[in-house]
């Protein structure tokens, strides 16, 4: 067989998966075209280098599908042990749900409900969106609407040129929109950040702000938009930027036909935390009210989000329990208290005596003290990627990779539900199926114990 004919045979065996969704960052680009040969992805057209690496290089041959105390076990035996271990706990925790589908998140809620467990995600301490929403509400829009309408876009504490490489091309900087036919030249781009980032290099206006001064800056903008009096010199000194710059930004926002404030962890994780996000949403509200009926505009706020399906987790928990994270089922019904029921706090207070970790790396997500405490209690870890918690776990399940090995649904940061189109097959189980099996075993244990 000549090398030419061998190539022709291989090409004939190749299949194409259109509209695959990349999960390497929060943009969830859903226009990737995958080429598959012999159960391997060999090309990912439309993907940026990060997503290409995710599709082509994500390790899919980890250890055994199930282990007990580090030793390989059959799935049945491991599932029995997991159910037994969790059912014996007085204060079990179900934690994670970042790198998985909404179907699996729903199965995790059922397990937590059955156990009377505390259920939390990294959203409770990394994503203030849920708390802010309850506090001041939110005027927001899909990324599609922002693409078609926003003629003034402010990136606050976010650097999408690096963190979400195709965001600018797809939604906020370059694309033609229905009401922005000239693409880039129809948009005025502002970056507010503590350092001159790659996104700042592309902006029309860069405002360098002192670290931790976001709240003051947003309050100044609120006052300028509402034409409220300011203690001027004090304001200048606090933010690190001259007041004229804030005046320029307030005027730009008020003059916009449609403004969009896109914020990231540089805002939500800086001093002030979720209060910064509340301030930004309050500014958006003020822009709608303006100084007078003539001086006001349409504006929206949108979190940029991080990797994984935390928006899906927040949505699933809300539609299942009424709360976006930190849900306690201990009383037999869902209760919510932002700080008291956050996994990090509960672990630091030594309340948890067993845990089920699903699709998140606790050593990355939690404080060192919380992660250390988690390492001391019997833990069941379910994940499609290797993580240190697997080495410490009593029971582990290694699962197929969502978006590559199996389908399902994820929610983009703006709440748009996107289907995953799996390209490959895997001998490993799907995480949601495992959780459903654990839940069925828990139901039997509970029925047995109540007889």
165 near ligand SF4 (CB under 6 A)? yes
Q: In the bound complex, what is the minimum distance in angstroms from residue 55's beta carbon to ligand SF4?
A: 9
Task: Report d(CA 343, CA 365) in Å as an integer.
Answer: 10
Contact 147, 262 (CB under 8 A): no
171 near ligand SF4 (CB under 6 A)? no
SS3 content of the chain, % helix, strand, coil (to 5): 40, 20, 40
* Binder of ligand SF4 out of 100, 101, 164, 437 (CB under 6 A): 164
Binding piece for ligand SF4, criterion CB under 6 A, among 22-30, 95-103, 244-252, 442-450:
22-30
25 near ligand SF4 (CB under 6 A)? yes
310 near ligand SF4 (CB under 6 A)? no
412 near ligand SF4 (CB under 6 A)? no
423 near ligand SF4 (CB under 6 A)? no
Token pair for residue 24? 């390497």
Contact 301, 218 (CB under 8 A): no
Question: Judged by CB under 6 A, how many residues of this single chain contact ligand SF4?
Answer: 13
Binding piece for ligand SF4, criterion CB under 6 A, among 7-15, 164-172, 186-194, 247-255:
164-172
Binding piece for ligand SF4, criterion CB under 6 A, among 18-26, 151-159, 339-347, 404-412:
18-26
Q: In the bound complex, what is the minimum distance in angstroms from residue 45's beta carbon to ligand SF4?
A: 11
b/e map 136-167, b = 16+ CB within 10 Å: bebbbbbbebbbbbbbbbbbbbbbbbebbbbb
Q: In the bound complex, what is the minimum distance in angstroms from residue 99's beta carbon to ligand SF4?
A: 13
Closest Cα to residue 150, out of 261, 226, 246, 250?
261
b/e map 188-206, b = 16+ CB within 10 Å: bbbbbbbeebebbebbebb
Binding piece for ligand SF4, criterion CB under 6 A, among 123-131, 161-169, 246-254, 271-279:
161-169
41 near ligand SF4 (CB under 6 A)? no
Token pair for residue 400? 């197929």
Q: In the bound complex, what is the minimum distance in angstroms from residue 311's beta carbon to ligand SF4?
A: 14
29 near ligand SF4 (CB under 6 A)? yes
22 near ligand SF4 (CB under 6 A)? yes
420 near ligand SF4 (CB under 6 A)? no
Q: List strands edge to edge, sheet with 152-156.
A: 205-208, 188-193, 152-156, 258-263, 298-303
Token pair for residue 75? 């799935």
List contacts with ligand SF4 (CB under 6 A): 22, 24-25, 27-29, 47-48, 50-51, 164-166
């Amino acid at each position: 067989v000549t090398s030419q004919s061998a190539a022709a045979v291989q090409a004939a065996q190749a299949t194409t998966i259109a509209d695959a969704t990349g999960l390497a960052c929060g943009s969830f680009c859903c226009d990737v075209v995958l080429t598959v040969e012999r159960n391997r992805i060999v090309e990912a057209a439309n993907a940026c280098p990060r997503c290409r690496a995710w599709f082509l290089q994500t390790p899919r041959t980890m250890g055994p599908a199930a282990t007990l105390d580090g030793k390989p076990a059959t799935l049945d035996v491991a599932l029995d042990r997991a159910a037994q271990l969790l059912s014996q706990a007085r204060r079990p925790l179900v934690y994670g749900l970042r790198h998985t589908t909404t179907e699996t998140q729903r199965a995790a809620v059922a397990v937590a409900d059955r156990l009377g467990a505390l259920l939390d995600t990294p959203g409770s301490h990394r994503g203030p969106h849920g708390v802010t929403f309850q506090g001041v509400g939110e005027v927001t829009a899909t990324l599609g609407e922002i693409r078609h309408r926003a003629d003034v876009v402010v990136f606050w504490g976010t650097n999408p040129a690096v963190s979400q490489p195709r965001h600018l091309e797809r939604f906020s900087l370059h694309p033609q929109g229905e009401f922005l036919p000239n693409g880039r030249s129809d948009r005025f781009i502002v970056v507010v950040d503590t350092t001159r980032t790659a996104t700042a290099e592309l902006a029309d206006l860069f405002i360098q702000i002192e670290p931790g001064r976001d709240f003051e800056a947003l309050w100044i903008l609120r006052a300028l938009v509402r034409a409220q009096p300011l203690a001027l010199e004090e304001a200048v000194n606090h933010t690190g930027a001259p007041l004229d710059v804030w005046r320029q930004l307030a005027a730009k926002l008020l003059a916009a036909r449609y403004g969009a404030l896109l914020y990231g962890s540089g805002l939500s994780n800086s001093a002030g935390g979720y209060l910064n996000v509340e301030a930004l949403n309050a500014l958006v509200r003020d822009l709608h009210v303006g100084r007078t009926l003539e001086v006001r505009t349409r504006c929206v706020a949108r979190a940029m989000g991080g990797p994984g399906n935390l928006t899906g987790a927040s949505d699933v928990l809300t539609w299942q329990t009424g709360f976006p994270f930190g849900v306690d089922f201990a009383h037999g019904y869902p209760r919510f208290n932002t700080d008291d029921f956050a996994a990090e706090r509960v672990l630091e207070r030594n309340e948890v005596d067993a845990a089920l970790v699903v699709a998140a790396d606790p050593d990355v997500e939690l404080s060192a003290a919380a992660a250390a405490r988690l390492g001391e209690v019997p833990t069941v870890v379910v994940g499609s990627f290797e993580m240190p918690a697997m080495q410490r776990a009593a029971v582990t399940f290694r699962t197929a990779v969502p978006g590559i090995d199996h389908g399902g649904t994820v929610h983009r940061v703006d709440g748009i539900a996107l289907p995953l189109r799996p390209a490959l097959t895997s001998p490993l189980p799907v995480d949601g199926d495992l959780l459903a099996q654990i839940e069925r075993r828990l139901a039997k244990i509970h029925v047995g114990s109540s007889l």
